[in-house]
Structure 1
Amino acid sequence: RDKLSHNAVMMQIPIGLEADHRGVIDLVEMKALIFEGENGEKISIEEIPADLLAEAEARREVMLDAVSMFSEELMEAMLDENVTTELIHEAVRRGVLTRELTPVFMGSAYKNRGVQPLLDAVVRYLPDPTQVENTAIDLDSDESMIVDNSPDSPLISLAFKLEVSPYGQLTYVRIYQGTLSKGDSMVNVRTGQKLKLGRLARMHADQMQDIEEAAAGDIVALFGVDCASGDTFTDGKINATMTSIHVPEPVIKLAIKPIDNKASANMAKALQRFTKEDPTFRAYLDEETNDTIIAGMGELHLEVYVERMKREFAAEVTTGAPQVAYRETIRNEIAFNYTHKKQTGGSGQYGKIQGVIMPNEEADFEFESKVTGGNVPSEYISAVEKGFKSCMARGEYVGYPVVNLKFRLEDGASHAVDSSDNAFQAAARGAFREFYLQGKPIALEPVMLVSVEGPTEFQGEILATLMQRRGMVVGTTEDAGFVRIDAEVPLSEMFGYATVIRSATQGKAEFTMEFARYGTAPAEVAEELREKWLEKKAAGSN
């Protein structure tokens, strides 16, 4: 009640504790349920033991007081001392459906005691699938349609989980509408592929039971079906798809590298399989750093997949933090005057440009021409723009992409024979290389909006972990014993944070992270990036 803020109400009390536990007292029926047999499968209903009767009556009064808040009929029956079990069940169901009541049941998972009354309560109090309105999208009209849960309607089913088994790919499917039988033909709505169902099974943990038919509401497993998580299957009589599963954006990224060519081939197979079976797992090649990046919902999530690569696919890989995608820009306006002149025997290359490069907060790249009098022919102005734009891919300061620049072409000159598109593109690139560093460039680092949620008692520890990472708190909210702290933290400082926050809060806090903006990197970070870039340039020129 205190920590989870739930209106918890005991529906049973135990008969005996720990090793002496043998049953429960049902506070609704006021009967003792004694569980016997190896798996608690035999239930004998008896009168309440005399030594527990007073406690049972007191607990029943507490339960009735809490439950009667959801039923006026029950409240009146309590005043008339005419309470029936039907009235109690109806009031509990109302409280559960409005999420304002949490009934608590007793039992022993180890001895399988108390399972039957718990399952009865699930059926009695929780909403059944027919009370939930599921919708699909009619692809012919592109409008939402209600799925009617009828086994006689055209088939609509959703593949929600894939698993690699010794028998091949195992696809878990929930049937929302219609009936699916062994040997039926199905259509994958996403790909349009038609396939025949060879085997249909119902899963009980790791046990498999072959079945001939399944209807709306069933969850079954299919074999040999090539699909991805979130695919919709129909019988071809209806062109509709279930709304896709919500997939949150990854919060943790990791660079991986195979140790040899064999591992590289196996790693590619593994990544293809993992991205197919788990939509929250992503893999891609970072074009800026050339690293293979895997991304997921947490460090443990990625650790599991790295371990699976090694165990299931014999792909030995090394892992490391990916390089952060820094950016760079200038602080001061630069006037440029550059002539590109090259003579190679025949017609040469000639292009002269003059203008200004300036900071621009409105867009990453902007180009305008103020040339008058035709000094730079109009057909070459687009070549100047193209040349400048090509320079944005890599700056001269730290070697990362350049952002927030505006180029203004004001004047120039051309040659009737030697000027060309290539000559003016080369002039733009030369002007950028020669004058860029005069604009006092700065390095920019990606800043993430980090939201950490945890118990209020750990607020100090959470703040400390953020401050140690150059975090700047932008907001704090408290509610019912929990605190949420929003802070802007550089991405380069966030690697390994999941482990740190877990140990600092006894595993009780969690965080989400999304890109916020690019901010100026500290001088020491910029200097380190500059040194690495100069070393890389020197190595490339040797």
Structure 2
Amino acid sequence: MHNASLAFVRLHLFPKRCASIQKFNSIWKYHSRFFTSSTTEDEYLKKMRNIGIAAHIDSGKTTVTERLLFYTGKISEMHEVKGKDKVGATMDSMDLERQRGITIQSAATHVSWKGHPINIIDTPGHVDFTVEVERSLRVLDGAILVLCAVGGVQSQTFTVNRQIQRYRVPCIAFINKLDRLGSNPHRCLTNLRGKLGHHAAYLQIPIGLESDCAGLVDLIRRKAIYFEGSNGESIIEKDIPDNLKEVSEEKRKELIGCVSDVDDELAEIFLMDEEPTEDQINAAIRRATVARKFTPVLMGTALKNKGVQTLLDSVVKYLPNPSEVDNFALDNKRQNGDKKDRILMSSERTKENSAVGLAFKLEQSAFGQLTYMRMYQGCLEKGDTIFNIRTGRKARVPRLVRMHSNKMEDVDRVYAGDICALFGVDCASGDTFVKDKTLELSMESIHVPDPVVSMSLKVEGRDDAGKLSKALNRFTKEDPTFTTQWDQEARELIVSGMGELHLEVYAQRIASEYKLPVVLGKPTVAFRETFTDSIKFDYTHKRQSGGSGQFGRVIGYIEPLEQENYTKIEFRDDTKGTNLPRQYIPAVKKGMVEDASEVGPLIGAKIRGYRVVVQDGAHHLVDSSEVAFRLAGQGALKQAIESSNLVVLEPVMKVEITIPSEFEQNATASILKRKGDIYDTDNLGELATLIANVPLNDMFGYATELRSLTEGKGEYSMEYSHYAPCRPEVEEKLIKEYAEANEAKAPKKKSGKKK
């Protein structure tokens, strides 16, 4: 009997012996790989899958993962997300996750399905924890994009889709919650194609919707599938019901035609009017999915235990193994112009290749810092010495583990393609580790969005033991989107993050994990300042104070960037000749991009959204230096600021509001009152959805207002969209407040006559 089947039988038929069985399983060595001893590492690699589950909040990701764990025999019984039975879902291991009923941290596990080892990462759906999705998708080879059959493509679905595209991750779509009132898989497919741009088609259609959801039709195999038993564990295949035979054939032809558009082999069969075999269709779907040209669409209802086993079948059929995905490292030694050479990593599971791994997530545990790592090349063994490319420090690996939520399984070694965790390694998220210190390779980085909301944080009572400092050091290290700074003017600590919920969660964690109650103050918004037109600069920095002095001259212009780049600063070197020597260009860049741009003249906000173009300059053989040209750069930017008209920018959020239809008018009025721009509406029968762009500064307190307007039935989500110029009255108010604050802190002159 296969090991996965053995695990299922042991855990489900003998639940009372679960503890002893788990202890028995723990002694199985990692090299067994769920297979017979004859299985080679090459065969294991081809069967392996590294997948993530991502979606908009409340689409059912964690429920889907719970069912995946159950059907693969990893857990003996299923629990719900909200933790009504005081247990909660396996992957939501934090008490705070079970209290709130949401996923806050990504969690990793490993299962086996029909001889295929699968590493799974369950990710949060709320936009405030989007960095967890970023770093998970960075190290995965495939993804399941879960869509709610009622909500369809929602605001966070766009964000997740952008992340999937950014890291070029092949994916399959799973339309969940077919049992819910108002479920409409057809609208989900239309949105998947129209709004997200996926070349997608059904692989299944439902046998009934809402309370009548009885099963699924497998279009490729032309079979009706029913999930029977108390937990849907018994799969029964029957003939397709008569009322669905015609539509099944139509959707099957649509599927074959859709795949034929992106696969030449199937297209040839299709054009010759031949009937492709099941194997030919599956092979074509796999080729197109791995090449990211096609997205298979499956469906079911995880809560009612339907469709999850067929989802697992599709994961092993259509998503790639690690050898089918090209992963590159940047060679720090070799550089082609401004770009470093990209080196293709070898996915062979052998000790012959030098080990390369990426630390993608940090977590504090009872045993110290736990570092999650994806191996991209070679082999890493317990006791090995590894080198951090960023810091140059070496570290010994005292312990290697595989994760199952918050539980650990010790292993002796890991190979390319594995996801593991190490203890005792001090690093930051995104660091690359190698075994050969002569290799200066860095894996391509993880995208980290900038924080958009700031709040003051104060301790209630005394902090004699320095608990706050310990907590903040830990959390800022684990989460790069959570930052802190001391406001010297206001004499208070400022914490910044991706939203109010993000900061509230950390405040609660400080209180619960460190027994230190804290209070969050009024939120502040990350305003920016920018140029409105092009402006030339010609600045000379000259200082003489005996001996060698300082001299540097820079000439060029500054121009504003497009709205989508309002958070960036670009620098271009257009100099020719030797008036401004090449070695001083980085110093000029530091002065104009890093130093003088941190405090703007209008409200003291960072200056962003501009391009610096340096065209010429002058230097002195003795007096010129990097310091002189850095100061010249600072002076040039200040000169440009004085000659230009700047404006204040504010972050604009994409807000999606779902309310009962009878409250649509109230919700519309509330958004317009907050100066929002409603650009899309969707009526889902009993529910209505409004999508709008609203300035973040006008969104504080909206949760309370929406609950009041909709009798507690409305909900909303928001994510950062872009920066845009403030309304004139808002800008005037901000400038006035900044001027008054500066005036208040200025030292007062003493009055009276001198003696």
Whether TM exceeds 0.5 here: the answer is yes
Q: Which region of structure 1 is more displaced relative to structure 2, 74-83 or 477-486?
A: 477-486
Structure-1 residue corresponding to 2:322: 129
**Aligned mate of 1:512, from 711, 721, 729:** 721
The within-5 A match list for 1:17-416 is 24-33=216-225, 35=227, 40-41=232-233, 43=235, 46-48=237-239, 52-53=241-242, 55-56=244-245, 58-71=247-260, 74=266, 76=269, 80=273, 82-93=275-286, 96=289, 101-110=294-303, 112-142=305-335, 143-152=341-350, 153-236=353-436, 238-262=439-463, 265-321=466-522
Cα deviation 1:255-298 (Å, max 9, x = unaligned): 11223441782111111101111111111123443332111111
Structure 1 residue runs without a partner (length 5+): 329-360, 370-376, 383-392, 404-443
2: CA distance, partners of 1:190 / 1:141: 16
TM-score scaled by structure 2? 0.48
Structure 2 residue runs without a partner (length 5+): 1-185, 194-198, 336-340, 550-597, 608-645, 684-688
Change (3 A) 1:284 1:519: farther
Residue identity in the other structure for 1:452: K
Change (3 A) 1:479 1:89: farther
Structure-1 residue corresponding to 2:626: none
Question: What secondary structure sits across from 1:190 in the alignment?
Answer: coil
The RMSD of aligned alpha carbons is: 5.1
Residue identity in the other structure for 2:501: L
Q: Which region of structure 1 is more displaced relative to structure 2, 16-25 or 287-296?
A: 16-25
1: CA distance, partners of 2:468 / 2:654: 33
> Is 2:652–2:722's contact at 8 Å kept on the other side of the alignment?
yes
> Is 1:299–1:498's contact at 8 Å kept on the other side of the alignment?
no
Change (3 A) 1:249 1:67: same
Residue identity in the other structure for 2:347: N
Change (3 A) 1:445 1:60: same
Answer yes or no: is 1:496 the counterpart of 2:700: yes
Question: What secondary structure sits across from 2:395 in the alignment?
Answer: strand
Question: What secondary structure sits across from 2:250 in the alignment?
Answer: helix
> Is 1:501–1:509's contact at 8 Å kept on the other side of the alignment?
no
Offset of residue 35 of structure 1: 4.5
Change (3 A) 1:305 1:81: same
Change (3 A) 1:23 1:212: farther
Offset of residue 219 of structure 1: 0.8
Cα deviation 1:485-514 (Å, max 9, x = unaligned): 778x6x8x4462774898798425533354
Residue identity in the other structure for 2:652: V
Residue identity in the other structure for 2:252: M
1: CA distance, partners of 2:270 / 2:731: 71
2: CA distance, partners of 1:511 / 1:327: 14
2: CA distance, partners of 1:288 / 1:518: 27
2: CA distance, partners of 1:118 / 1:531: 61
Question: What secondary structure sits across from 1:279 in the alignment?
Answer: coil
Change (3 A) 1:258 1:91: same
Offset of residue 83 of structure 1: 3.2
Question: What secondary structure sits across from 1:511 in the alignment?
Answer: strand
2: CA distance, partners of 1:170 / 1:221: 6
Q: Which is greater in Rg? A: 1
> Is 1:202–1:221's contact at 8 Å kept on the other side of the alignment?
yes
> Is 2:452–2:651's contact at 8 Å kept on the other side of the alignment?
no
Structure-2 residue corresponding to 1:351: none
Cα deviation 1:165-214 (Å, max 9, x = unaligned): 23332221111111122222222222222222222222223332222221
1: CA distance, partners of 2:271 / 2:360: 47
Residue identity in the other structure for 1:149: S
> Is 1:399–1:533's contact at 8 Å kept on the other side of the alignment?
no
Change (3 A) 1:181 1:515: farther
2: CA distance, partners of 1:445 / 1:261: 42
Question: What secondary structure sits across from 2:333 in the alignment?
Answer: coil
Question: What secondary structure sits across from 1:137 in the alignment?
Answer: strand
Percent identical residues: 38
Residue identity in the other structure for 1:29: R
Size of the alignment, in residue pairs?
A: 440
1: CA distance, partners of 2:226 / 2:724: 57
